[in-house]
Amino acid sequence: MSQRLVLENINKNFDQLVAVENVNLTVEPGEFVCFLGPSGCGKTTLLRIITGFESPSSGTIRYDEKVINNIIPQKRDFGIVFQSYALFPNMTVEENVAFGPRMRRMPQKEIEQRVAEILRLVGLTQWKTHYPAQLSGGQQQRVALGRAIAIKPRVLLLDEPLSALDAKIRIHLRTVIKRLQKELGITMIYVTHDQEEALSLADRVAIMRDGRIEQIGTPWEIYREPMTKFVAQFVGTSNFIEGIAKDDHVRFDGKTFRVEGLSGEDGQGVHLAIRPEKIRLLTDKEATSAAHASNVVSVETEVVTFLGAVVQITFLLDGVDMNVDITEEKFEQHAIRRGDVIQLYFPPDAFHIYPKTSSAG
């Protein structure tokens, strides 16, 4: 028996508008999957299709080997948490959490045990007799989480549950959610437009764009090997260079970089992407003896930003703003100030290459 959730060729149109296009996805039991993408890319629609509040225009949804397309939401036994807490205002914290189990006519004693356990997990034991209006936003969302898991859902679906909260509480609640998932071994699907949230929480991230899943993988895979320019742009920071490929080089605006991994792009336009931490700061001496001299450029530092252990330096390359991240230690060694000219090395193997003809414009 495999309690997998499988989406096969899911499409959803609203009249002319294609909200979800040909989505295929398998979520393993106990897995934490995030749908990450900009506003309007179809995340909520896809989640609503899984919950059963929306039916797909075509495609099959399976859970535990059974087709569930025609099963109503209440019978799917999936828990749901929205951005708005939607708590019962006239019920205490305890009563809110007990609501689901009560509706399912669970024995009173079991309900009490379950509620106590959940309040402990979400850290609300001391607030159990309070009403929602007496709680902060973060506490209310913890009640909503508790209420959703009280029915022991087979899958917990969360739609931007933290977006209404301020940064500090958001980060704290991430930990609460991750702990819940670990302790309960529950399958979770979590929708967000916040890449940091997705990368920190998920086992696998599905990057969505215009209704499609553009790439799916572990956070590390997505960060390391973004398959399209869109993903390289959306996840983490990338610097982009536009040029023409020729043999193992890319030429742009009078400069030429040696680039590893080019194949079949000869004479064609390409976008190169390079992460800020991959560009290296050289001393003048290192610059003159670099293995690939063409990949060394002199630039003027425009902005210096301290980000704690890392210092980010913004510079212009052919009129485009770019960033290089260097360690605080290196920053001090080089005694860099705004306006200084520095030598940067773009390693030939540090680029991702995207053909200019790709849809990822």
Ligand X SMILES: Nc1ncnc2c1ncn2[C@@H]1O[C@H](COP(=O)(O)OP(=O)(O)O)[C@@H](O)[C@H]1O
Q: Which is nearer to Mg ion, 44 or 343 (CB)?
A: 44
Question: Chain-centre distance of CA 316, in angstroms?
Answer: 29
Q: Which is nearer to ligand X, 9 or 289 (CB)?
A: 9
Q: How far is the CB of 360 from Mg ion (least distance, A)?
A: 22
Q: Which is nearer to Mg ion, 194 or 277 (CB)?
A: 194
- Phi/psi-derived region of residue 339, left when phi > 0, alpha when psi is between -120 and 50, beta in every other case: left
| Count of residues near ligand X by CB under 6 A | 11
Amino acid letter, residue 167: A
Residue from 23, 25, 33, 43 binding ligand X (CB under 6 A): 43
119 binds, options ligand X, Mg ion, none, Cβ within 5 to 8 A by partner type: none
The residues binding Mg ion (CB under 5 A) are 44
Within 7-36, the residues that bind ligand X by CB under 6 A are 14, 17, 19
Q: How far is the CB of 203 from ligand X (least distance, A)?
A: 21
Q: Which is nearer to ligand X, 86 or 320 (CB)?
A: 86
Residue from 25, 33, 34, 41 binding ligand X (CB under 6 A): 41
Distance CA 279, CA 351 (A): 10
211-220 contacts: CB < 8 A, separation 24 or more? 211/12, 211/18, 211/19, 211/20, 211/21, 211/23, 211/41, 211/42, 211/45, 212/21, 212/22, 212/23, 212/42, 213/23, 213/24, 213/25, 216/25
- Phi/psi-derived region of residue 101, left when phi > 0, alpha when psi is between -120 and 50, beta in every other case: alpha
Residue from 16, 39, 74, 126 binding ligand X (CB under 6 A): 39
306 binds, options Mg ion, ligand X, none, Cβ within 5 to 8 A by partner type: none
Distance CA 59, CA 89 (A): 38
Residue from 42, 59, 132, 146 binding ligand X (CB under 6 A): 42
Q: Which helix (H) or strand (E) holds 146?
A: helix 137-149
Reference 276, options 309, 241, 323; nearest CA is: 323
Residue from 44, 141, 181, 195 binding ligand X (CB under 6 A): 44
Distance CA 268, CA 360 (A): 16
Distance CA 246, CA 252 (A): 11
Does 40 engage in binding with ligand X (CB under 6 A)?
Answer: yes
Within 231-290, the residues that bind ligand X by CB under 6 A are none
Does 336 engage in binding with ligand X (CB under 6 A)?
Answer: no
The residue ranges that bind ligand X (CB under 6 A) are: 14, 17, 19, 37, 39-45
